[in-house]
Amino acid sequence: MKSVQLSHGGGGEETNTLINDLFYRYFENDILIKAEDAAVLEVKKKIAFTTDSFTVSPIVFNGGDIGKLSIAGTVNDLAMMGARPLYLSSAFMIEEGLSYDTLKQIVESMAKELAKSGAKIVCGDTKVVPRGSLDKIFINTAGIGEIEQEDISVSNLEQGDVIMASRDVGRHGATILMEREGLDISSDLQSDCETLWPAVEGLIKEDIAVHSLRDATRGGLSAVLNEWAQASDICIEVEEDSVGISDQVRGICEMFGFEAMDLANEGTFILAVASEDAEKALQVLRQYHFCENASVIGTVSEKYPSKVVLHSAHGTSRFLDLPKGELLPRIC
Amino acid sequence: MKSVQLSHGGGGEETNTLINDLFYRYFENDILIKAEDAAVLEVKKKIAFTTDSFTVSPIVFNGGDIGKLSIAGTVNDLAMMGARPLYLSSAFMIEEGLSYDTLKQIVESMAKELAKSGAKIVCGDTKVVPRGSLDKIFINTAGIGEIEQEDISVSNLEQGDVIMASRDVGRHGATILMEREGLDISSDLQSDCETLWPAVEGLIKEDIAVHSLRDATRGGLSAVLNEWAQASDICIEVEEDSVGISDQVRGICEMFGFEAMDLANEGTFILAVASEDAEKALQVLRQYHFCENASVIGTVSEKYPSKVVLHSAHGTSRFLDLPKGELLPRIC
């Protein structure tokens, strides 16, 4: 079986072959083909610039793989700034001996995910390291987007804003945990991994007064809400029962003692919207298959500044804290 | 001794502490401090965009470390496009247990190297992976620069152009090889690792007609010249004796059977300049300490299109081919 060799990363003839056979073939576009030491781009607006490295294990999981994740993750970081994802870099760090077919599958998966936002890979890098220096494959993507709507920020939440979630939470973290533990308890549980730009573009086109947007990745919903409460110095009050958690995610959390709200998501975002636009925002979101269960989960108040309060159906309340410790490494 | 823990990459409280204590402290600038999911930038010209992952082993070597390399490498890719390096992302992939002091040393080294070009780190990412998933630390940097001089390209070489090297070749590769083999034969041999933008800026300011620029990294001088010969469909004739190779590099090459011209450099660049500007270009280059021995090494002719010919002092000639195989993995 063909596999990736050290020579594929040497910068010589074999590297050129790999780049032509795989990267140019699947990522083909005019800018990439013309790129030399760097790609040449023309942008017209303010730009957003972000980076992420992906180290997920296993590299293929129910609902995605490291390739899909590496595109969706960076595209989503741009989208959360109100920026249209345009140009991505992709840097592959590969362990000697990785199957060529696996690499091809990952690259195909990246190309498929790129098509959802229209973003293009315009430059890249390939490193192959000796066996044992790296576990299979890590991918870094950096991204550039043009900002379509300014003033979306963690510090822009206002009293009375409505907090929404685009869907149920905890799927990506629970899926990775299940696969890593070799569990087969719920074969229909799959990662939420998804490119979110189309829904954000929909909100912008409809002139929804979005104050803040954030995909709930590492640290989950808890991390997003705490960051917002602190940055905007407001209180976020959440109705616990309104946060969607699937039965499978709930089961896995009970088994391992995790909080679903702390688990990573890769295609779930949280919105703070002016109250008068809340209903319209929900209507827009529900047009997209990955947001069809979007719902209101809370409101912004002045009760406990910088804090997130969780109200249970039984009438009790508690603070939701920023997650501590490492719940699950190599989740993304 | 304090070390990096999995929780430092978890996206929660410990991640925030690491970012504040180290990254914000050493990389501090207004854009980074304000960055959320992405940094917001304003650019006025065409931009160059590039990425590189750094996996060098050992992570500290004579003349630099992985931090210095991760900045110089990406800044140089921008400089070689005639672009002023402005904004960098930095993504750290760290093995659990890496000493905190080592990480701090690397970050300090990055900050020091950034100052040489004035580029800023404006966004980043931190992943910590379990022991054994990665060897110590890999760093990815992506970079954005504003193009100050257009039409510098691998395909712009013309008949009669003069080919120059900014200094002697093979130092970085030879240094890494020596350190990895535990040799102590030449303690004064050090990597050429250096930020090249100041010299490129000098050439642009003096209106030198630079047709092509390339730092001779993986694949060394041989890779650059072959790429140019093929892309511009011209012949490059090189006088073998005019290519600077230090005695230490020559010794290591003889010991291990390498060609110095195939070895990686990290602060050495090759120029193709219109013949009427050649003398002036040399004068400009020699003002910079890392180019003080810049010299003419060859010319562009039509003798063997797409080929590089090496002429020896004895009157013999041979083709210089693109390096094949993996000479030395984890060189950068």
DSSP for B32-89, written as a single string = HHH-SSSEEE---S-EEEEEEEE--SSSEETTEEHHHHHHHHHHHHHHTTTEEEEEEE
User: What's the pLDDT tens digit per position in A106-151?
Assistant: 999 999 999 999 999 999 999 999 999 999 999 999 999 999 999 9
Residue A171 burial (CB count, 10 A): 28
| A130 interface with B at CB cutoff 8 Å | yes
Do B116 and B170 lie in one domain? The reply is no
On chain A, the residues whose CB falls within 8 A of the CB of B153 are: 36
Residue B326 burial (CB count, 10 A): 21
Which of B 62-81 lie inside 8 A of A, CB atoms? Answer: 76-78, 80-81
Residue A186 tokens read as 């719920």
Is residue A248 within 8 Å of A186, Cβ to Cβ?
Answer: yes
Whether the pLDDT of residue A185 is over 70: the answer is no
- CB-closest option in A7, A142, A153 to B326: A7
Question: What number is the average pLDDT over the span A244-257?
Answer: 94
| B47 interface with A at CB cutoff 8 Å | yes
- CB-closest option in B12, B15, B91 to A52: B91
| B223 interface with A at CB cutoff 8 Å | yes
Do B16 and B140 lie in one domain? The reply is yes
Nearest alpha-carbon partner for A179 in A191, A170, A167: A191
- CB-closest option in B40, B134, B140 to A48: B40
For residues A99 and A3, what is the distance between their CA atoms, to the nearest angstrom? 4
In a domain, A328, yes or no: no
In a domain, A122, yes or no: yes
Min Cα distance A40 → chain B (Å) is 5
- CB-closest option in A38, A92, A325 to B48: A38
User: What's the pLDDT tens digit per position in A274-332?
Assistant: 999 999 999 999 999 999 999 999 999 999 999 999 999 999 999 999 887 666 789 89
Do A99 and A189 lie in one domain? The reply is no
Q: Taking CA atoms, what residue in A is nearest to B149?
A: A40
**Number of C-alpha atoms within 13 angstroms, CB side, residue B192?**
32
On chain A, the residues whose CB falls within 8 A of the CB of B6 are: 326, 329
On chain A, the residues whose CB falls within 8 A of the CB of B219 are: 10-12, 15
- pLDDT score for A181: 85
| ipTM of the prediction | 0.95
In a domain, A155, yes or no: no
On chain A, the residues whose CB falls within 8 A of the CB of B16 are: 322
Any idea what the Cα angle at residue B141 is, between residues B137 and B145, rounded to 5°? 165
| A120 interface with B at CB cutoff 8 Å | no
Tell me the torsion sign for CA atoms B97, B99, B100, B102: negative
Is residue B193 within 8 Å of B267, Cβ to Cβ?
Answer: yes
Residue B127 burial (CB count, 10 A): 28
Q: Taking CA atoms, what residue in B is nearest to A150?
A: B40
| B37 interface with A at CB cutoff 8 Å | yes
In a domain, A278, yes or no: yes
Do A103 and A240 lie in one domain? The reply is no
Any idea what the Cα angle at residue B263 is, between residues B111 and B214, rounded to 5°? 60
Domain that holds residue B33: 6-147
Do B234 and B285 lie in one domain? The reply is yes
Q: In terms of pLDDT, which residue wins out, B182 or A54?
A: A54
Q: Taking CA atoms, what residue in B is nearest to A214?
A: B37
The last residue of one of the domains, among A147, A173, A205, is: A147
Q: What's the order of all strands across the beta sheet hosting B137-147?
A: A39-41, B47-54, B137-147, B83-95, B120-129
- pLDDT score for A300: 98
Please give the distance of CA A99 from its chain centroid, rounded to a whole number. 26
In a domain, B329, yes or no: no
Residue A63 tokens read as 């609902």
Min Cα distance A295 → chain B (Å) is 23
Do A131 and A244 lie in one domain? The reply is no
| B89 interface with A at CB cutoff 8 Å | yes
Question: What number is the average pLDDT over the span A62-85?
Answer: 98
- CB-closest option in B46, B53, B218 to A41: B46
CB contact under 8 A, B6 and A36: no
- pLDDT score for B172: 97
| A43 interface with B at CB cutoff 8 Å | yes
CB contact under 8 A, B7 and A93: no
CB contact under 8 A, A42 and B47: yes
Locus of tokens 């210095």: B68
Do A176 and A312 lie in one domain? The reply is yes
In a domain, B1, yes or no: no
User: In terms of C-beta density within 10 A (0-12 exposed, 13-18 middle, 19 or more buried), how is residue A31 classed?
Assistant: middle
Do A187 and A305 lie in one domain? The reply is yes
The last residue of one of the domains, among A121, A147, A173, is: A147
Taken as a whole, chain B contains a residue count of 332
The count of structural domains within chain B is 2
Tell me the torsion sign for CA atoms B136, A322, A293, A269: negative
**What tens-digit pLDDT sequence spans chain B (332 residues)?**
799 999 898 777 788 889 999 999 999 999 999 998 899 999 999 999 999 999 999 999 999 999 999 999 999 999 999 999 999 999 999 999 999 999 999 999 999 999 999 999 999 999 999 999 999 999 999 999 999 999 999 999 999 999 999 999 999 999 999 998 887 665 789 999 999 999 999 999 999 999 999 999 988 999 999 999 999 999 999 999 999 999 999 999 999 999 999 999 999 999 999 999 999 999 999 999 999 999 999 999 999 999 999 999 999 999 999 887 666 789 89
Do B189 and B93 lie in one domain? The reply is no
Domain CATH number, residue B204: 3.90.650.10
Q: Taking CA atoms, what residue in A is nearest to B45?
A: A42
The last residue of one of the domains, among B115, B147, B179, is: B147
Do B108 and B169 lie in one domain? The reply is no
CB contact under 8 A, A138 and B142: no
On chain A, the residues whose CB falls within 8 A of the CB of B122 are: 49
In a domain, A325, yes or no: no
Taken as a whole, chain A contains a residue count of 332
CB contact under 8 A, B49 and A57: no
DSSP category for residue B316: -
Min Cα distance A251 → chain B (Å) is 22
| B19 interface with A at CB cutoff 8 Å | no
For residues B225 and B237, what is the distance between their CA atoms, to the nearest angstrom? 10
Q: Taking CA atoms, what residue in A is nearest to B217?
A: A11
Helix (H, G, I), strand (E, B) or coil at B165: strand
In a domain, B137, yes or no: yes
Min Cα distance A16 → chain B (Å) is 11
| Greatest alpha-carbon span in chain A | 68
- pLDDT score for A292: 98
Residue B120 burial (CB count, 10 A): 18
Do A108 and A207 lie in one domain? The reply is no
Do B14 and B131 lie in one domain? The reply is yes
Domain CATH number, residue A96: 3.30.1330.10
CB contact under 8 A, B129 and A330: yes
Interface test with A, best of B49, B77, B225 (most A CBs within 10 A): B49
